[in-house]
């Protein structure tokens, strides 16, 4: 995907691009959704969500530096475990990415639907009962089209746009934190006892990480990995870009959550409870409640800026992910065609445009889209820690510009955390997302048939751990505790213990079944191009 016209991205541009993805609609809705579920204890949910994603991201730093390629996260499992696992992981990741584009458009339109001005009454028809209406859907389509067109000509245009917009996206949340705190600061809202701090118990703290879009809000670290060979000094900047971006966004999200909690007037809170606030535009509505109308106007404007920045960034990542899937040779080859002038996969971007529109036509609410994204992404991420450790056994002599000292214990920990977060999404979401992932398998087997079923049995053997795992996590979601919508055969928190222990078994099974496939030699060729001291 490189071309002579492809512009390399430096660390500052990389961080700005990633922040442009990270600080999207999650900050506009996440605090409100999390507090409805967990009360003031939602602030812990953000910490847990950040830890889960940071642990997962840690594994990808090593393999991202080993294989710096565009859309890399859709290919790593293919290198270590063959085409079937690679297809499952890349399909799950791609499903999350084509859902990310419309969720940002939905966020912008949802804020539009509550514009308070008389001349904007026509926008109120965009949302009904928390779901986008047909008229609102047309506006969502326009946003998705804009996201795609801003990526359509060059990486240089993309980075120039997102560097500017990301600065605004950091500034507006910071100003919101300051102004809401100055206008109304009630720290007593955190409560004076454990019960007041956790009014709904401890289980909702974990549920909020997936169901309130917290995992979704941190998900965009993969923007760094998917840019791959387009990053200057990738040996150093992949890890730096992920760490700096997650740290900045994590601080902003936690401060926003605390500000939301402490800005509520105690008298209003006493009459409604944390779950009683029915906001369409949470922070803008809160600013109006506190009499800061100019801030609400700014927030309505930022409801365009934040989602557009994220949508633009993920239109880029999604195109690269689909391009990488085509190299697996299990989807039509024309989809991966690269525009020679600009070095970008234009056909893939058009396909994603159409499918994103189809996705939002089916799932029309922000919370539903956020849950689908979180679960499908986490399923794809399960392969990361397994692949990172498997490569140390399969290819001990590969170049490792970054060799992680703590991978031995961080990899199994991140696998367990990802498994728990999938479970936290609650029944029936797990099964629904797994079924969406399975829809892609006919493509895989059709192309296996055309290829004469070369290595199909071996690939199935190497992927069996993931297939059985998906069955296991679906059953656990159904028979698990009532707190997570299960039938309560296994009570909370023993359901966590069962999932943690079983996940470790699947993790070690996955490492053991890694094998050398033809794709492994592609990985070796790519690794041979890596500079151990790159100064480009």
With cut-offs at 50, 70 and 90, classify the pLDDT of residue 443.
confident
How large a percentage of the chain has pLDDT more than 70? 84
**For the chain, what is the mean pLDDT?**
82
Between residues 11 and 53, the one the model is more confident about: 53
pLDDT at position 387, please? 93
Residue 457 lies in a domain: no
The Cα 273–Cα 481 span in angstroms is 25
Top pLDDT among 338 and 117 is at 117
Confidence band (pLDDT; 50, 70, 90) for 473?
A: very high
Q: How far from 363 is each of 99, 189, 430, 433, CA to CA, in Å?
A: 9, 34, 16, 12
pLDDT at 318: 64
Is residue 358 domain-resident?
yes
The band of 386, judged by pLDDT with boundaries at 50, 70 and 90, is very high
The predicted model gives 405-433 an average pLDDT of 91
Q: Buried (b) or exposed (e) across 368-379, using 16+ Cβ within 10 A? A: bbbbbbbbbbbb
* Helix/strand number for the chain, H first, E second: 24, 2
Question: DSSP string covering 172-196, please?
Answer: HHHHHHHHHHHH---GGGG-SSHHH
Residue 37 has pLDDT above 70, yes or no: yes
DSSP reduced 3-state for 9:
strand
Q: What is the pLDDT of residue 313?
A: 62
Lookup: tokens for 58: 């840690």
Q: Which domain holds residue 116?
A: 16-66+91-227+235-425
φ, ψ dihedrals at 331, nearest 5°: -140, 165
Least confident among 123-127, 311-315, 503-507: 311-315
Worst-scoring range by mean pLDDT, 60-74, 172-186, 511-525? Answer: 60-74
130 is written with which tokens? Answer: 């928390």
Residue 391 scores a pLDDT above 50: yes
CB 55 within 8 A of CB 293: no
Query: What is the domain-level CATH number for residue 60?
Result: 1.20.1740.10
Q: Which residue has the higher pLDDT, 88 or 162?
A: 88
Least confident of 266-270, 363-367, 374-378: 363-367
Instruction: Give the C-alpha distances (Å, rounded to integers) separating 108 from 97, 136, 162, 306, 444.
Output: 18, 10, 17, 8, 36
pLDDT digits (tens, 9 = 90+) for 274-329: 887 777 788 888 888 888 888 988 888 877 776 666 666 666 666 666 666 666 66
Least confident range from 221-235, 330-344, 367-381, 486-500: namely: 330-344
Q: Looking at the predicted structure, is the pLDDT value of residue 334 above 70?
A: no
Task: Please give the Cα distance from 14 to 379 (Å, whole number).
Answer: 26
First to last CA, the chain: 17
Q: 69 falls in which pLDDT band (50, 70, 90)? A: confident
Q: How far apart are CA 163 and CA 153, in angstroms?
A: 17
Residue 489 lies in a domain: no
Domain for residue 280, yes or no? yes
Q: Where is mean pLDDT largest: 20-24, 165-169, 422-426, 518-522?
A: 422-426
Task: Give yes or no for residue 452 having a pLDDT over 80.
Answer: no
User: Does residue 4 form part of some domain?
Assistant: no
Alpha-carbon distance of 499 to 206, in angstroms, equals: 14
CA distance 235 to 231: 9
pLDDT of residue 5: 46
Q: What is the pLDDT of residue 311?
A: 65
Q: Which helix (H) or strand (E) holds 152?
A: none
Range name among 230-244, 320-334, 481-495 with the lowest pLDDT average? 320-334
Mean pLDDT calculated for residue range 446-466: 80
Give the separation between CA 193 and CA 199, rounded to whole angstroms. Answer: 10
- Residue 228: pLDDT over 80: no
Q: How confident is the model at residue 91 (pLDDT cuts 50, 70, 90)?
A: confident
Residue 47 to residue 52: CA distance in whole angstroms = 9
Measured distance CA(300)–CA(283) in Å, rounded: 9
Q: What 3-state class would DSSP assign to 488?
A: coil
The tens digit of pLDDT for each residue in 3-22 reads 444 567 777 777 777 776 67
H or E element: which one contains 162? Answer: helix 155-183
Q: Please state the φ and ψ torsions of residue 343, each to the nearest 5 degrees.
A: 70, 30
pLDDT of 342 above 70: no
The count of structural domains within the chain is 1
Q: What is the DSSP letter of 75?
A: T
pLDDT (tens digit per residue) in 235-254: 677 778 888 888 988 999 99
- Which pair of structure tokens corresponds to residue 397? 């002599």
DSSP assignment of 260-310, as one string? HHHHS-HHHHHHH-GGG---SSHHHHHHHHTT-HHHHHHHHHHHHHHHHHH
SS3 339: strand
In a domain, 434, yes or no: no
**What is the pLDDT at residue 1?**
45
Contact between 269 and 104 (Cβ < 8 Å): no
Structure tokens at 90: 């890349």
264 phi-psi bin (left φ>0, alpha ψ -120 to 50, beta other): beta
Specify the higher pLDDT residue, 227 or 514. Answer: 514
CB atoms within 10 A of CB 527: 20
Q: Is residue 74 predicted with pLDDT exceeding 80?
A: no
Within a domain: 453: no
What's the mean pLDDT in 193-199? 91
Enter the pTM of the model.
0.85
Whether residue 153 has pLDDT greater than 70: no
The pLDDT value recorded for residue 499 is 97
Given a cut of 60, is residue 168 above it in pLDDT?
yes
* Whether pLDDT at 259 is above 90: yes
C-alpha closest to that of 506 among 466, 461, 473? 466
- Assigned token pair, 26: 């999650």
Residue 286, in any domain of the structure: yes
Q: What percent of the chain has pLDDT over 90?
A: 26
């Amino acid at each position: 995907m490189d071309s002579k016209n492809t512009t390399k991205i430096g660390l500052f541009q990389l961080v700005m691009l990633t922040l442009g993805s990270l600080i999207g609609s999650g900050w506009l809705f996440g605090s409100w959704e999390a507090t409805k579920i967990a009360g003031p204890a939602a602030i812990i949910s953000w910490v847990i969500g950040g830890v889960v994603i940071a642990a997962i991201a840690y594994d990808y730093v090593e393999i991202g530096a080993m294989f710096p390629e565009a859309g890399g996260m859709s290919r790593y499992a293919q290198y270590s475990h063959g085409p079937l696992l690679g297809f499952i992981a890349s399909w799950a990741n791609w499903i999350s990415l084509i859902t990310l584009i419309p969720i940002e458009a939905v966020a912008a339109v949802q804020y539009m639907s509550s514009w308070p001005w008389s001349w904007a009454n026509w926008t109120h028809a965009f949302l009904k009962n928390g779901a986008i209406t047909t008229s609102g859907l047309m506006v969502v389509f326009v946003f998705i089209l804009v996201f795609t067109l801003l990526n359509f000509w060059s990486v240089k245009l993309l980075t120039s746009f997102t560097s500017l917009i990301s600065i605004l996206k950091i500034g507006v949340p910071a100003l919101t934190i300051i102004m809401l705190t100055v206008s109304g600061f009630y720290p007593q809202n955190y409560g004076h006892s454990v019960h007041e701090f956790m009014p709904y118990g401890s289980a909702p703290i974990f549920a909020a990480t997936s169901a309130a879009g917290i995992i979704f809000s941190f998900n965009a670290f993969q923007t760094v990995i998917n840019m791959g060979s387009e990053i200057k000094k990738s040996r150093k900047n992949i890890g730096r870009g992920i760490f700096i971006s997650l740290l900045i966004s994590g601080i902003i999200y936690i401060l926003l959550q605390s500000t939301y909690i402490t800005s509520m007037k105690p008298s209003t809170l006493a009459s409604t409870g944390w779950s009683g606030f029915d906001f369409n535009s949470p922070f803008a509505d809160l600013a109006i409640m506190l009499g800061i109308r100019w801030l609400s106007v700014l927030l309505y404007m930022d409801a365009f800026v934040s989602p557009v920045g994220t949508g633009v960034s993920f239109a880029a990542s999604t195109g690269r992910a689909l391009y990488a899937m085509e190299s697996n040779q299990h989807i039509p080859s024309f989809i991966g065609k690269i525009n020679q002038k600009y070095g970008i996969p234009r056909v893939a971007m058009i396909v994603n445009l159409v499918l994103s529109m189809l996705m939002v036509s089916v799932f029309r609410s922000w919370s539903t889209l956020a849950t689908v994204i979180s679960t499908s992404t986490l399923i794809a991420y399960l392969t990361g820690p397994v692949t990172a450790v498997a490569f140390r056994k399969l290819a001990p002599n590969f170049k490792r510009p970054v060799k992680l000292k703590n991978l031995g214990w961080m990899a199994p920990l991140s696998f367990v955390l990802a498994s728990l977060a999938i479970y936290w999404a609650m029944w029936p979401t797990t099964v629904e997302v797994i079924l969406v992932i399975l829809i892609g398998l006919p493509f895989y087997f059709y192309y296996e048939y055309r290829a004469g079923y070369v290595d199909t049995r071996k690939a199935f053997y190497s992927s069996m751990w993931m297939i059985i795992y998906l069955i296991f996590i679906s059953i656990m979601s159904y028979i698990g505790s009532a707190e997570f919508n299960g039938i309560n055969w296994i009570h909370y928190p023993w359901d966590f213990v069962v999932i943690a222990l079983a996940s470790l078994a699947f993790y070690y099974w996955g490492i053991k079944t890694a094998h050398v496939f033809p794709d492994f030699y592609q990985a070796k060729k790519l690794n041979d191009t890596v500079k151990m001291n790159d100064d480009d």
